[in-house]
Amino acid sequence: MGAALGRRRLLSGRSALTDEIVADLRTEGVHVTTVDRLFGPSAPTYRAAIAAVGELVAGRGTGARVRWHRSTASIDLDHEELLGRLPELFMLGLDAALLAVAEHYLGLPVGYHGAVLRHSPVDGRQVGPRRWHRDAEDFHVLRTVLYLNDVDEDGGPFEYLPRRLASLGGRALAADGMCSDEQLAAHVPREHWKRCTGPAGTLVIADSAQVFHHESLQRGSARSVLMIGHASSRPRHPALAQAHFPAHEHAETLARLVPPPQHHLVFGWRQSDLVLPAGGVEAVTTILGDVIAS
């Protein structure tokens, strides 16, 4: 009965756009679209949230205190701040249109990893997610990157190798499973690398476990993005999958925000007894909204 209901749900969520995205993920590994095209009637809600991010990051003189995490290559908005100030962005990952893509592509019950709002300054450091890698949470990981500001060639666009070049990319990896631009270029000529530029509201949807990718270095302007993830409800490495968003620390807020029929997507796949890996995130600091430098 459960399998039959699952197939019925998949068929009901299918559309020409869903098929197009899934086809690209299976061949290229990446599909680029926009908030307006994918979400349709819901797009104005997400557009309003995107505008609010701009004010949050660049709104000098407000005096509002906002908590951020300083991570290896970026400044990430505190999870509770995201849920309180911009709940629409967390809920974007539970939008029926994006869930339909995840369910059709994965072909399995889906778990929602959560959302991270990341601001990357121009600092010349190719570290952390700015190095080339593939994600290891599961055999297939649907990573959606929403550009919250315009991202041009010098703004650190998402950069990737098409799926057909995965074996070549693997030859460049260092012992930690990552590599630099120079290391990759020794095995895959730069003309085969692909960059995803676009205005605020651009959506880059990738199977980040199958394609080598990275956040290219910001050279002329900072970049703000929302990063969300989906994988199967039984991921290969559950501790890694759960580490992106510590739902157990925000269970009360999430229980109010997320409709009960979707609680299984946020909570149902998680294992409460896991020891989560440290994500390289430094201690939380309180930063005035008007001192985040680009």
Q: What is the pLDDT of residues 140-161, one digit of tens each?
A: 999 999 999 999 999 999 999 9
If pLDDT is split at 50, 70 and 90, which confidence band does 72 have?
confident
H helices present in the chain, as ranges: 2-12, 16-27, 35-39, 43-58, 79-85, 87-92, 96-106, 166-170, 181-185, 238-243, 251-257, 263
pLDDT band at 63 (very low <50, low <70, confident <90, very high): low
**Is the pLDDT assigned to residue 43 strictly greater than 90?**
yes
What is the pLDDT at residue 69? 85
Average pLDDT over residues 47-73: 80
| Mean pLDDT for all residues in the chain | 89
pLDDT recorded at residue 99:
97
291: confidence class by pLDDT, cuts 50, 70, 90: very low
CA atoms of 71 and 289, how far apart (whole Å):
17
pLDDT of residue 68: 86
Section 97-122 average pLDDT: 96
Asked if 85 and 56 touch (Cβ cutoff 8 Å), the reply is yes
**From the CB of residue 153, how many other CB atoms can be counted at a distance below 10 Å?**
11
CATH 2.60.120.620 fits 2-288, yes or no: yes
- Predicted pLDDT of residue 57: 86
Instruction: Tell me the mean pLDDT in the region 41-46.
Output: 97
Cα 293 to Cα 59, 60, 247, distances in angstroms: 11, 11, 29
pLDDT of residue 118: 95
Rounded to whole angstroms, the Cα distance separating 143 from 229 reads 5
pLDDT band per the 50, 70, 90 thresholds, residue 240: very high
**Backbone dihedral angles phi then psi of residue 204, each to the nearest 5 degrees:** -105, 115
- Residue 182: pLDDT band by 50, 70, 90 thresholds? very high
Report the candidate in 85, 95, 99, 147 with the shortest Cα–Cα distance to residue 119. Answer: 147
Instruction: Specify the range with the lowest mean pLDDT, choosing from 6-20, 28-42, 243-257.
Output: 6-20
User: What pLDDT score does 70 carry?
Assistant: 86
Whether pLDDT at 60 is above 50: no
pLDDT of residue 64: 64
Q: Which residue has the higher pLDDT, 185 or 63?
A: 185
Q: Which of 28-32, 126-130, 194-198, 228-232 is predicted with the least confidence, judged by mean pLDDT? A: 126-130
- Given a cut of 60, whether residue 36 has pLDDT beyond it is yes
Among 191, 183, 200, smallest CA distance to 162 is for 191
Please state whether the predicted TM-score (pTM) of the whole model is above 0.75. Answer: yes
Q: Are 34 and 203 in contact (CB under 8 A)?
A: yes
Whether pLDDT at 7 is above 80? no
Give the confidence band of 17 by pLDDT, cuts at 50, 70, 90. very high
Is residue 273's pLDDT more than 80? no
pLDDT mean over 100-126: 95
